[in-house]
Structure 1
Amino acid sequence: MVTPKNKPTRTAPPAWALKLKMRRLELGKGQEDIVADTGDSVTQAWVSDVERGKVDLNNAGFGKVVALARALSWSLGEMQRATGVDLGIAEVTLVGEGSADVYPLSAALSPDNPGAAIDHVAVTPGVSRPLLLRADTDEMQGTSRASVRPGSYLHLDLDLTTPAEGLVYVITDHEGVHLRLYTTTRLGAVFRAENREHEDIPASEAQVIGQVMAVTTDYSPDLN
């Protein structure tokens, strides 16, 4: 008499792995699409192993995890929140050194719900309530010490909303979001652009979102 062989028991994927697979399906992507969207930095077999929990996100390699998050239209912080896997990403509300998501300048319209992040960088130490924005404007491009090049990262402190002379702030008015320097003129207090193609904004017409505590950029001039 032949004894039937027992079929191997299939272990269900962990919850975090299912979250990854569900995100991919929500985006209408196949595993091949994820591979393509990462620039072929991962393989389909790797994506399959991650979605089955055979590869732990914490041991998958930082570069691959970053590429996977972007392919799933997530920031690392959003992936961490969605999966519950601790990727070591500090939330933007934390104090002190760490890293945080970067958002477009328009996110200043709703700083408590900024939407999808566009990058991830280190937070400037000493910021009480940080929000990192990208300067998608040439308003402060100039030659003074307050000049800010478009594309630079703005390290805001959302707790500092009382303007002081000579400091730079992200503000909003009826036209949208602006990056301006606060100064007092003979006509009153205004938020002034370094790029003088932009008109002054009266302080009475603006709402301060936060003070720019630091600016970081990857701009490297070609001096050769």
Structure 2
Amino acid sequence: MSDTKTVQNPAAARPLRIGVLAVQGAFIEHEQILTKLGVETFEIRQKSDLEAPAGLNRPSNRPFDGLILPGGESTVQGKLLRDLDMFEPLLRLIQDGLPVFGTCAGLILLAERLSNDGNVYFGTLPVTVRRNAYGRQLGSFFAERAFRGITDEATVPMTFIRAPLIEKVGDGVEILAEVKGEIVAARYKNQLGISFHPELNEDTRIHQYFVDMCLGE
């Protein structure tokens, strides 16, 4: 039997609930990490999942307290979100301040500009991102680097798979991690975007960082 304690949202006296976009990509792994942290998860598969059931005590009638946009294929995810009529509701939630965490493809969806692609998706994170920045031959690699805001140890594990990187950041964007002088993690207000896949490691600290964002810490 697990002795993990359920994380509570003190502002609403109920369990913290994080929605994970589950139309494509590595969403199950994110759910597994959040479960280890005692966080209630919710799979977002259709437009109705973005509407809070009657009686839920949540700010602004949101169905969840945070949102994860997982890795996968950003082009496919972007198309599915429009086909399923989910794009605009998700965009409004992000613009209204819902904490959002984009990993790899999720970072691409959030980026204000893509330097090697004319497409822009949500465009809410003021950064310029380059897709498949390391090329196919070096598309997958592992690194351990410092991550600002995580202070219990010097480094965190980072798994990169055909990863994008952040080429430029706008005003107010905090750089959280770099690999070989290149930006791989950044935060802007309610948005956290990273190039790598923290859900593919046993380390839970980056997800805990996002949980703390959802709790307003």
TM range (shorter): under 0.3
Query: How high is the TM-score relative to the length of structure 1?
Result: 0.27
Whichever structure has more strand as a proportion of its residues is 2
Higher RCO (C-alpha 8 Å, min separation 6): 2
Query: How high is the TM-score relative to the length of structure 2?
Result: 0.28
Q: Which has the larger radius of gyration?
A: 1
